[in-house]
Amino acid sequence: MDTLSQLGYGFSIALSPENLVFVVIGVLAGTVIGVLPGLGPISAIALMIPIAYGMDPTTAIIMLAGVYYGAVFGGSTSSILLNAPGIAGTVATSFDGYPMARQGKAGKALAIAAISSFVGGTVGVVLLMLIAPYLARLAMSFGPAEYFALMVLGLTAVVSLAGDNLTKGLISAVLGVMIALVGIDGQTATLRFTFDLPELYEGVEFLIVALGVFALAEVFTILARRTGGGVEGAVTSLRLSRRDIGQMAPAAGRGSLLGFFTGVLPGAGATVASFLGYSAEKRIAKDPETFGTGNIKGIAAPESANNGAAVGSFVPLLTLGVPGSGTTAILLGALLVLGVQPGPLMLSERPEVFWGVVASMYVGNIVLLVLNLPLIPLFAKVLKTPKALLIPLVVVFCVVGVYGLSFNVFDLWLLLGFGVLGYLMRQNGFPAAPLILGLILGGLMEESMRQALQISNGAWSIFVTQPISAALLGLAVLSLAGPVFRALRRIRPATTAGAVREGDNGERQGQSPA
């Protein structure tokens, strides 16, 4: 009852005319910025901080929170329509969103993304309100060993992203991890995979790889296909049938819960949550072979997960003063600039900020849905664009996004290189998704592993003697055991059949002289 009364107090703040206006401004600005590759939530919030400076702290944080989850949603639009993920957290959405758009169902794909984002955000806000203090204490029990085990568990998603060929999927994942290791080793100052190029000393930006292997590779594929351009078939309405909703609802529910709990963990964030949501949904699906071809659950799960994680990342930020991701680190800086000290005392000292932000998230998610659903037919018309216009548009999109990172021409050559790599991978049946997964998790996994080994003075047993770490590693082994066992079963009959054929040939050769 006390929680409900405090939530009512929060709504009285969030629904004031001034705060309502800034919720709409934040959500709208975040959506527009999130669509553009390179300008993800971090850049979006950084751009809005000068506007927030001097405002009432509660109003400012309400606006910046709206920018955050608006940008997470906006990233899915370019993922679905152009296969050009605006932010890392929406890469998994493109796996099924883009194929669905190519089938002339862009409106439906965007509607599923919008509704799933709403579900993920709303579920996340409810959980934030109810169990934030308890989850914050649990998250603090995660040390480097537990984070390493969590990243290992995340990497096992490669078996569900690899498609029919597990070997090619593993090769792609290893390549992604190798790209994550490019640059100067932070501890030993050793140069790794830099080939004496100073431009590689700071590593390779995620956006360059993602836009190369997805968006630019798609451009090369369209050019090689020599089709008439645009998308095959008409762009249908965004109306969902009862069967569509039946498929979407459970996936969005599971993705929301998984995403929120992942977002609570400092460092995990929306990207890891979206990949975990996608792979978990594929593993339990009765039709896993349809993932990657336009499966509704393949959009609903990662979209609800990344929005749930975006809200979940506010738990350690508001209750402990610990940023759970790069985006919440920027938000922490904004809070401090505005004179608000987040932490355990925030609930008692600044309840208007905490409950005002929580209530504004309810309002913001509704605004996000109301604003974006009517705009979906307009967004979907992008796919009607003739190839002669669409290809230059995508190329400019990529070039502006990458060049805006560092204003370095070398990054554009890297973009071209990864575009060619992505095209060759497609032509030879290597999935790009495991590469991105390895790239995202590789650096985090190495950092956690080194910290854990430093704590244990080099003893590897720390990963199995810590209960949470051991449980997560056990789950990783179990999740790998099934697919590997099935792969071995497929190999064995093939080997047996080959041996039988060789035996038959030998017998015929032995009989023929007679």
Choose between 91 and 419: higher pLDDT. 419
| pLDDT score of 513 | 38
| pLDDT score of 87 | 67
| pLDDT score of 413 | 92
The mean pLDDT value of the chain amounts to 78
Report residue 320's pLDDT band, with 50, 70 and 90 as the boundaries. Answer: low
| pLDDT score of 416 | 92
Is pLDDT of 458 > 70?
yes
Q: Locate the DSSP E strands across 149-297.
A: 183-184, 191-192
Backbone angles phi, psi at 138, to 5 degrees: -65, -40
Choose between 512 and 336: higher pLDDT. 336
Instruction: Identify which of 29, 36, 37 has the alpha carbon closest to the alpha carbon of residue 68.
Output: 29
Backbone angles phi, psi at 191, to 5 degrees: -80, 130
Report residue 418's pLDDT band, with 50, 70 and 90 as the boundaries. Answer: very high
| pLDDT score of 514 | 32
Mean pLDDT, to the nearest integer, of 351-368?
82
Highest averaged pLDDT of the listed ranges 276-290, 318-332, 336-350: 276-290
Burial class (CB in 10 A: 0-12, 13-18, 19+), 94: buried
| pLDDT score of 379 | 65
Using CA atoms, how far apart are residues 259 and 310, in angstroms rounded to an integer? 8
Number of alpha helices (DSSP H) and beta strands (DSSP E) in the chain: 23, 2
183 pairs with which residues across the strands?
Answer: 192
Mean pLDDT, to the nearest integer, of 146-175?
75
Mean pLDDT, to the nearest integer, of 360-384?
74
3-state secondary structure of 71: helix
Mean pLDDT, to the nearest integer, of 83-90?
70
Interval 177-233: pLDDT, tens: 899 889 888 778 888 888 888 888 888 887 788 778 877 887 888 788 765 444 444
Mean pLDDT, to the nearest integer, of 468-480?
82
Backbone angles phi, psi at 395, to 5 degrees: -65, -45
Report residue 324's pLDDT band, with 50, 70 and 90 as the boundaries. Answer: low
Q: Which residues of 293-313 are buried (b: 16+ CB within 10 A; e: fewer)?
A: ebbbbbbbbbbbbbbbbbbbb
Report residue 383's pLDDT band, with 50, 70 and 90 as the boundaries. Answer: low
Backbone angles phi, psi at 184, to 5 degrees: -85, 130
Range of weakest confidence among 312-326, 345-359, 486-500: 486-500
| pLDDT score of 421 | 93
Using CA atoms, how far apart are residues 63 and 51, in angstroms rounded to an integer? 10
